[in-house]
Structure 1
Amino acid sequence: MDRLLELPEELLYLWHTHRPEILLAAGILFAAARITLLWRRSKRRETLTPPLSPTEEKVSMPLQVEKEYLSNTPERTSAPILPKPGPRRVTGRKKSKTSDLSKGEGRIHVVNKLQPVIFYFTVGGSTKTYTEKLVAHLSADNKDILPPIVHDLTEIDYDDYFITAPKSEDAIPFYLLILPTYNIDTELDNFLSHLQETHHDFRIDTAPLATLAGYSVFGLGDLHEWPSEPEGYCSQAVEVDKWMARLTGRKRAFPLGMANVRDDVVGELKLWSNGVRNVMQDVVDGKGLGEGVRGSGDAIESADEEDEVDSESEQRAKPKARRTQTADLEDMKVPIPVDFTTAKPSTKSTPTLAPPKAMVPAGSPTHTSLTKQGYTIVGSHSGVKICRWTKSALRGRGSCYKYSFYGIASHLCMEATPSLSCSNKCVFCWRHGTNPVGTTWRWEVDPPDEVFEGMKRGHYSKIKMMRGVPGVRAERWNEIMGSEGGIRHCALSLVGEPIFYPHINALLAMLHAEHISTFLVCNAQHPDQLEALGPVTQLYVSIDASNKESLRRIDRPLHRDFWERFTRCMDILRRKRFTHRTVFRLTLVKGFNLEEEAEGYADLVARALPGFVEIKGVTYCGTSTAAGAGLTMQNVPFYSEVREFVLAFERALGKRGLDYGIAAEHEHSCCVLLADRGRFFRKPVGVESAVGAEDDEVVDERKWHTLIDYPAFFRCFESGETFAPEDYLGRPTPEWALWGNGGFDPRDERVDRKGRPKVV
């Protein structure tokens, strides 16, 4: 009896002592039993499977044997074989929705006619009035778009329209919703609850309204009562737009429109309806809603779509690919092209040169890699890509530093380059080592008109992809895509070396002819091209180091005489300061050029005398190429460190007698602007110094004038005469952009990486 009581303790001891062996043995026994059962089941299936019927044999046999089989098959007199009762066995795999979307299916429908269906809600009757105006505007003479059908949300059964779309043999429905916002309980609350419950109901398809051709929402709110969206402005329209995105399977056809009831509602409604009409016309023309971008139409965003590169942890999780010659074009073992600006002429006969090839051929690994990163390749050597600040500005989440410093609206800006090739391999470059490098142009040359048209076409197509992204503001969308809108600025700084393009002056002239201002960035390695450069709205030179050794480590230039070229460009910039707005761009990389470099940079400023100096902390993209160059997140300075450098740099300039002051800042992008006080810190036109009660008390009315008067620049350019930067100075720099005020656009709302309002 005592022995039996001790038995469980012995078993427990055996379990703890030999647990791995016991588990391994049990696993082996289970696997053996499983394999035995599967083998017996397959043998039984082979025995019980009947021979194919003649009809089934006909389906499975080749087409060329069909006639011979039918001629030898006796005529059947027996009754046909009926299918067995019970559920039908489903074989094969379900089609992937991703593949369908990639082919355009599910996003583009062949539509003969379109039926607009307008839903509205009103308490006092004003929304009904606006709906009638919308109906009148949409009731144009277009046989492909039927007259709108109007429904009051209080008079319909939601199940008839918002669980399944109404079916018609004549036309596909297109939903438009006009909704006010109230701070009282109304029928809109029930409507929102219905949309939410429909989405979460497991008995209903995930996207029950996917058969719609598209939808769009227009909201009415009161900015006096609710000053911002988080505080309730058009909040119910925002919610409806969110749930409709889910129920339709991301069929947002046009961005959410919003209007202040105390302002010009009719004007805002007309702008929105113009965009809606254009979209409906695209649908009936067979163009569909266009491509979507990551996050397009999502009801809740886990992160902003500007996070286009994989995180460092994701990169580590991926298997390492075998390194080939195309893995990093910068390190390919190919003959170095002759640089005739530095090499001595050969006494031997000149060899026959091979015909030039495309810089980025279609279908090449370079083309594939850049396209995957979001670039649109234009021709054989140019590119365009939508900037994350453009997407941010379209959604009212802030513009880049160029709006704070120079008055450029980011949603009207195109970022492009006429040359994807560069003569440097900078450690902080975000191009992932994929675009070609070289010291001389050895490729085909595309005509400037083709480059110009291709850039615009590529940019507009990418902006169009933003139409379905949540939060895009309809008024800003119309400013870039409306009939009277368009690109107003071009930043030739995307990637590569724009000044490398042989026809850069012709391209600049085409941009200016359409009143598109230009900011051109070069890397101070092509002095001859810099000397011959024509008018530019603003000319940048990247200054990443203050001495030869630092420049070699940071920019990793390909030219043997890189420092001589660099200093020549400094001298050329000094001569151009009276014909161009010249800017030094300093990119601070901690551990490379942040410590003890202020004095050296001040010497370069004394040599070139630029009008402005931009100081910006480096942006780390988390790429393997950057890590291979020695760059990590540890090299990204905090904004406080950038500010300390700026103050030290200002003192270093003052010691050399250079009158530069800190003009503006943009904390959101870790950037500070210094400007020549003598040229850009001045009185506004027509303002004189005010004299106080005492004769020696004088009030200084001077202000920073860093903004640009763009119409004045185009007038100067079209005059054909020589002009100076002072001839197109803009109004004073706004107070919110000055040093110490942060520089964030007060019209917009700052958010965190999850899209939530950020308290600053």
Structure 2
Amino acid sequence: MPQNTWAQELLWPVDRIDLVAVWHTYRIPIILSTFTILCIFRAYLHLSVPRNKVSFTPPPSSPILSSTKSKAPVNDVVEVRTVAEKSSAVQKAPRRIVGGLKKRKSSEEQLTTNDHQIQVLIFFSTLTGTTERAAKTLGQELRNRTGRFLEPQVLDLAELDYDDYFISPPKSETDVQYFYLLLLPTFDIDTILDTFLEQLQETHNDFRIDTAPLSGLLGFSVFGFGDREGWPTEETGFCSQAKDVDRWMAKLTGRKRAYPLGMGDAKKDAASRLSDWKQGVEDVLDLIAETGGLGEGVVGSGDAVESDVEDEEEDDGEVVFDDENVALPKSKAKKDSVNDVEDLGKGLRTDASPSEAAEPSDTFEVDFTTYSKKSKPPPAPPVIKEMVPKSSPTYTALTKQGYTVVGSHSGVKICRWTKSALRGRGSCYKYSFYGIASHQCMETTPSLSCSNKCVFCWRHGTNPVGTTWRWVVDAPDMIFNGVKAGHYQKIKMMRGVPGVRAERFEEAMRIRHCALSLVGEPISYPYINEFTSMLHAEHISSFLVCNAQHPDQLATLKPVTQLYVSIDASNKESLRKIDRPLHRDFWERFQRCLEILRERRFEQRTVFRLTLVKGFNIEDEAEGYADLVEKGLPCFVEIKGVTYCGTSSSAGAGLTMQNVPFYEEVCAFVEALNAALARRGLGYGIAAEHAHSCCILIASDRFRVDGKWHTRIDYEAFFRCLESGKPFTPEDYMGPETPEWATWGKGGFDPRDERVHRKGKNKKPLPESKVEELF
């Protein structure tokens, strides 16, 4: 093996070489050499490939490429590629979400065109008619404006549904934008403005509604009427309600106060102040018509920041979460800014000792539950005021109308039927129906406040309004003694009136009946049960009238001689128009009261009182009223035509002599209602009438005995039942038969009395044949 042995011997040293040792020895040169070779190879490839061979097809949807497609040369493909890459990067970048409230567009950004029509709405509230006249005059003066302006509308706040105007701007099919003007008086009693202010405040604080729901308005301005004799300065209350409305409207509109609040003394300078304010408003309207907005940079105009004083006093407590730096007012930037937790230490006292500084919680409290920018002292407890103070305009108005105000919230007055009965000229319908002699009846109320503003109310709209009791409460015994004294005093004033009969005068000095229906809502008085108990203790019957808006009080009412509920409409919309209730859930309250009367129909006499107003609740509503009777099943249904008093407040509500039905129309309605009840098989019939009062009575068959109606009351039997403490029913004190002259078709005038017609002619009573011909 010489040859093979030689090869094996030659390779033997190589196999013995340690490759690991070689790598560790020469690894750095090997790596550097390899990297150098690769760089040279890449550079060679880059330089050897021509540039015109590189192509790029941009995406067709790129707006940049579409605009430059016809202009960019082929050699500029790389540049185009760079632009496209940038555009794609912008499109694919994630959207940045910044916390906080979105900044509202300015007035002029919102109105980029001048094609919108402008509708000026003038709102007013009035008690005496002064503000109403001023509002109508302002509407006439603004009606002369041409161009984009529509004819101004004058609206009474007492007649409106606030949700239609003060939660969002009114809805319009055409391209119309609205401008609000508000003319408001200020009184020291509760009026419709208190309810209006509550509505504005609730709307602003309602978390379901935007804090500025009226920001779509072009603007607003308020003018207030006051009386410096009662309130010399603004601090004491001069035009305070107008100021409050102005403040809340600024919040709801997003600071769109177009012109500053105007104020005038109704007895001195109101006319001149109103004229100056109107001139300023007209200038603003001209600016809006020209530019489409209120302008920028002026305090109180549109989007500009309000005054510093208003910002400080009217902190809304809103929290804005934003990662951007918020510019603070110069006066507060250094004082109120805290950028980190460590900065809290800057707020500690600098003169504190080290031991005191180690426990900052004793000297520095951080409230993590309050969202307000600054701490506020706790609100002062509400001041409970009198309903009708003696120094108030309401007290003056009521006393002029013949009322005697007892205490701070009660009243008494004698009606014209009391005066008529004293002279033997006839009593009211209550005598024909129930045997109540008008000259022995005291008409009073323990609450002058009401929760409705009925269009037919003859109280001239001067009584206060309110949905809850929030006034000083007078004791029931004080009210009871006061109203009796006031009634007797007014009866004594009739002593020298010609024609007063001595026997009637003596009877009038012994009160036997009390009609709790003078004005207001008697059932809202917190101690109404104690008051009626005092009446019953002296054997004075109680006829209580409520407006079907206080079901809780009605449910707790103890038995009275006769319980009335006013049923002025057969459906929700009619009730809203004619009663103008303040409660927003008025229809639900109304329905609940009917259910309570149905439950009480076997405990006491219950009555539905229908006041017919032509044009409101007569036409085609007999079936609707029949449905309500079927639900409540009252003992009686009184149907009476409205009495027109000719006041400015009634005229403002749309009530005129045209709304007063003729007696023939009332009769026709009663017959239609009676027929509707008969079709339902409810067991009612027409029992009595009093044509002089334009009033007719429908009674349940429970009060028909042997074919004769017994609608009158046995008052002594009622008191015996009441004093026995045992349960009783209306039939237990059902009185004698209804007199023949009072039944349906007989006219209802007491033949013992003398019928006196109006217009100064004293005529003899008509014979029955003539009465039958007339009725």
* Short-chain TM bin: 0.5 to 0.7
Query: Out of 390, 397, 406, which is 1:369 matched to?
Result: 397
Distance 1:630 1:327 in 2: 27
2:666 is the alignment partner of 1:632: no
For the 8 Å contact 1:328–1:434, the answer to whether it is kept is no
2:533 aligns to what? 509
Q: Deviations over 1:552-603 (max 9, x none)?
A: 0000000010000000001011000011100000000000001001000000
Where do residues 30-179 of structure 1 align in structure 2 (5 Å cutoff)?
none
Where do residues 382-393 of structure 1 align in structure 2 (5 Å cutoff)?
382-393=410-421
Going from structure 1 to structure 2, the CA distance change for 1:344 and 1:504 (only over 3 Å counts) comes to: farther
- SS of corresponding position for 2:419: helix
1:96 aligns to what? none
Residue identity over aligned pairs, in percent, reads 72
Residue 327 of structure 1: CA displacement?
11
Q: Deviations over 1:223-255 (max 9, x none)?
A: xxxxxxxxxxxxxxxxxxxxxxxxxxxxxxxxx
Where do residues 549-568 of structure 1 align in structure 2 (5 Å cutoff)?
549-568=573-592
Which residue identity does 1:757 align to in structure 2? K
2:443 is the alignment partner of 1:443: no
2:755 aligns to what? 750
Query: Out of 430, 454, 467, which is 1:402 matched to?
Result: 430
Query: Out of 700, 703, 718, which is 1:676 matched to?
Result: 700
Computing the radius of gyration from Cα coordinates, the structure with the larger value is: 2
2:409 aligns to what? 381
Residue 755 of structure 1: CA displacement?
5.6
2:562 aligns to what? 538
| TM norm structure 1 | 0.53
Residue 336 of structure 1: CA displacement?
4.6
Residue 431 of structure 1: CA displacement?
1.2
2:493 is the alignment partner of 1:494: no
Distance 1:338 1:714 in 2: 46
2:732 is the alignment partner of 1:727: yes
2:610 is the alignment partner of 1:586: yes
| TM norm structure 2 | 0.52
2:542 aligns to what? 518
Which residue identity does 1:390 align to in structure 2? T
Q: Deviations over 1:155-211 (max 9, x none)?
A: xxxxxxxxxxxxxxxxxxxxxxxxxxxxxxxxxxxxxxxxxxxxxxxxxxxxxxxxx
Residue 354 of structure 1: CA displacement?
1.2
Which residue identity does 2:743 align to in structure 1? L
Residue 656 of structure 1: CA displacement?
1.2
Distance 2:650 2:643 in 1: 11
Where do residues 88-487 of structure 1 align in structure 2 (5 Å cutoff)?
324-326=185-187, 330-332=191-193, 336=197, 351-481=379-509, 486-487=510-511
Q: Deviations over 1:75-119 (max 9, x none)?
A: xxxxxxxxxxxxxxxxxxxxxxxxxxxxxxxxxxxxxxxxxxxxx
Going from structure 1 to structure 2, the CA distance change for 1:362 and 1:575 (only over 3 Å counts) comes to: same
Going from structure 1 to structure 2, the CA distance change for 1:541 and 1:334 (only over 3 Å counts) comes to: closer
2:741 aligns to what? 736
For the 8 Å contact 2:195–2:466, the answer to whether it is kept is no
For the 8 Å contact 1:423–1:559, the answer to whether it is kept is yes
Residue 326 of structure 1: CA displacement?
3.8
1:710 aligns to what? 715
Distance 1:450 1:499 in 2: 17
Which residue identity does 2:705 align to in structure 1? R
2:675 aligns to what? 651
Alpha-carbon RMSD:
2.9
Distance 2:568 2:598 in 1: 18
Residue 414 of structure 1: CA displacement?
0.3
Going from structure 1 to structure 2, the CA distance change for 1:450 and 1:597 (only over 3 Å counts) comes to: same
Which residue identity does 1:744 align to in structure 2? F
- SS of corresponding position for 1:468: coil
1:134 aligns to what? none
Residue 400 of structure 1: CA displacement?
0.2
Distance 1:345 1:408 in 2: 54
- SS of corresponding position for 2:185: coil
Distance 1:479 1:573 in 2: 34
Residue 658 of structure 1: CA displacement?
1.1
Residue 633 of structure 1: CA displacement?
0.3
Q: Deviations over 1:33-53 (max 9, x none)?
A: xxxxxxxxxxxxxxxxxxxxx
Which residue identity does 1:332 align to in structure 2? L
Q: Deviations over 1:508-529 (max 9, x none)?
A: 0000000000100000000000
Distance 2:548 2:495 in 1: 39
Distance 2:704 2:670 in 1: 18
For the 8 Å contact 1:703–1:732, the answer to whether it is kept is yes
For the 8 Å contact 2:189–2:387, the answer to whether it is kept is no
Distance 1:337 1:451 in 2: 30
For the 8 Å contact 1:337–1:440, the answer to whether it is kept is no
Point out which structure has higher relative CO (alpha carbons under 8 A, 6+ apart): 1
Distance 2:734 2:378 in 1: 52
For the 8 Å contact 1:653–1:660, the answer to whether it is kept is yes
Going from structure 1 to structure 2, the CA distance change for 1:463 and 1:447 (only over 3 Å counts) comes to: same
Distance 1:712 1:759 in 2: 34
Going from structure 1 to structure 2, the CA distance change for 1:357 and 1:327 (only over 3 Å counts) comes to: closer
Query: Out of 683, 689, 694, which is 1:665 matched to?
Result: 689
For the 8 Å contact 2:523–2:554, the answer to whether it is kept is yes
1:15 aligns to what? none
Residue 612 of structure 1: CA displacement?
0.2
Going from structure 1 to structure 2, the CA distance change for 1:723 and 1:345 (only over 3 Å counts) comes to: farther
